[in-house]
């Protein structure tokens, strides 16, 4: 019985320690008020695009890893071969906290891993890194936890993508009005389409560019294979060029219909901005083309066309286009947005030193109290005599 109590106490101590570390020792941040895109010029992420330079990519795929403990089937080579058959120009294996190097000799190799082992699937995809960040917060994360992890993952010459925000509310719209420091958002994932979360970030003035991925876990069964993708515009099919396209928004995401041939996905021909007028042309007519702006409001809709034009207003703040085809294939373009001549001003945040120190002191006190409680619980207690109990009951009555 005593051994069971000790084992239970050790388990509870581990849980309490993790909770104290997450909720009391994590840095506290001052998030400034979200500010919509504004300025005197309109930024166009497709300004330098060449319609002949689109390549199809998938950055989020899992193979068997960690001895099969994680959810993955097939080898990394199986994953690469599957995407090569579908004529993807860039395809990554992004296992949990493991950088696959089986394809490292390829000219289009790009390192990738999925970060996160927490309950709520608040995950991130890191491209271009040479090492894995192991820190994570297991329990439902506060905005401070999420910002701290983004800061830890961020490094030069890499891309940080927030994975499937709408899945289990990993990133809420409220979070995304505050968080900064990431490059892209995985808006398109078979498990969750996160357009509401994307619009929340854009409406707060965050230059969050889109990514679409299969997030495949069983390449042998081919479930999810070729259902989402990201197109990037690059002059050379290299990891550095692809990451630069993602960082600057010279890319777009696609939901691929089951009946869509993998070599005939419609592509963006041009997106131009002349003063306040936007002109967009696709390679094939869509059943419906629409533009979305601040707070997810639909600005303009037109049917059966491969072109859409619109005069953007300052109160729109941004405009992103969606082209939906009759077979279900849907294309999501990155937004054009108002900005100052020196570029988008991302609202800064800073660490609140005094508040961080105060919370850490509280955390130390909580652990001390827990240790005192554990010692009391495990210490031998004096026996309670039956006669004493009866005597006490008689006095009470």
Show the tokens assigned to 64: 């068997």
- Average pLDDT (182-191) is 98
Is the pLDDT at 162 greater than 80, yes or no? yes
Q: Provide mean pLDDT across the span 86-103.
A: 97
The sign of the dihedral angle between the CA atoms of 100, 101, 102, 108 is positive
Beta bridge partners of 31: 349
Q: What is the pTM of this model?
A: 0.93
Q: Give 115's contacts (C-beta < 8 A, 6+ positions apart).
A: 96, 97, 123, 124, 125, 126, 132, 133, 136, 149, 153
Q: At 298, which helix (H) or strand (E)?
A: strand 298-311
Share of the chain above pLDDT 70, in %: 95
As a whole number, the mean pLDDT across the chain is 94
CA pair distance 344, 366, nearest whole angstrom? 43
**How many CA atoms does the CB half-sphere of 34 hold within 13 Å?**
19
- Contact yes or no for 127/154 (Cβ under 8 A): no
pLDDT digits (tens, 9 = 90+) for 195-241: 999 999 999 999 999 999 999 999 999 999 999 999 999 999 999 99
User: Which run of H or E residues covers position 254?
Assistant: strand 251-255
Examine the pLDDT at 24 and tell me if it is beyond 90: yes
Contact 117, 97 (CB under 8 A): yes
| Distance in angstroms between the alpha carbons of the first and the last residue of the chain | 35
Band (396; pLDDT cuts 50, 70, 90): very low
Is residue 397 pLDDT above 90, yes or no?
Answer: no
Per-residue pLDDT at 346 exceeds 70: no
DSSP string, 302-323: EEEEEEEEEE--GGG-EEEEEE
Res. 388 pLDDT band, cuts 50 70 90: very low
């Amino acid at each position: 019985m005593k051994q069971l109590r000790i084992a239970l106490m050790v388990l509870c101590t581990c849980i309490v320690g993790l909770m104290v570390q997450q909720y009391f020792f994590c840095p506290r941040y001052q998030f400034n008020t979200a500010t919509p895109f504004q300025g005197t010029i309109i930024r166009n992420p497709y300004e330098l695009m060449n319609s002949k330079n689109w390549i199809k990519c998938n950055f989020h795929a899992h193979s068997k890893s960690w001895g099969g403990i994680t959810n993955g089937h097939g080898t990394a080579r199986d994953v690469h071969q599957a995407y090569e058959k579908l004529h993807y120009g860039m395809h990554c294996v992004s296992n949990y906290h493991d950088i696959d190097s089986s394809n490292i000799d390829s000219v289009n190799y790009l390192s990738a891993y999925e970060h996160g082992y927490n309950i709520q699937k608040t995950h991130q995809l890191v491209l271009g890194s040479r090492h894995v960040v192991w820190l994570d917060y297991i329990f439902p994360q506060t905005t401070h936890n999420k910002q701290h992890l983004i800061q830890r993952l961020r490094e030069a010459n890499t891309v940080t993508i927030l994975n499937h925000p709408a899945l289990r509310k990993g990133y809420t719209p409220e979070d995304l009005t505050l968080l900064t420091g990431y490059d892209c958002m995985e808006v398109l994932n078979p498990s969750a389409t996160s357009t509401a979360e994307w619009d929340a970030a854009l409406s707060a003035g965050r230059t969050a560019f889109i990514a679409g991925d299969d997030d495949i876990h069983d390449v042998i069964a081919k479930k999810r294979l070729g259902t989402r993708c990201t197109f990037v515009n690059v002059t050379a099919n290299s990891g550095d060029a692809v990451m630069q396209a993602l960082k600057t928004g010279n890319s777009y995401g696609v939901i691929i219909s089951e009946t869509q041939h993998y070599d005939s996905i419609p592509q963006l021909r041009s997106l131009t901005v002349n003063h306040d007028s936007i002109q967009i042309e696709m390679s094939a007519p869509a059943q419906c083309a629409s533009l979305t702006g601040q707070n997810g409001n639909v600005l303009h809709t037109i049917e059966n066309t491969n072109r859409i034009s619109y005069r953007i207003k300052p109160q729109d703040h941004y405009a992103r286009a969606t082209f939906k085809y009759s077979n279900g294939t849907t294309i999501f373009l990155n937004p054009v947005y108002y900005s100052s001549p020196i570029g988008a001003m991302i609202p800064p945040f800073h660490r609140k030193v005094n508040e961080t120190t105060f919370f850490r002191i509280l955390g130390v006190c909580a652990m001390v109290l827990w240790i005192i409680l554990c010692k009391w619980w495990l210490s031998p207690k004096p026996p309670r005599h039956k006669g004493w109990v009866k005597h006490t009951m008689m006095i009470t009555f």
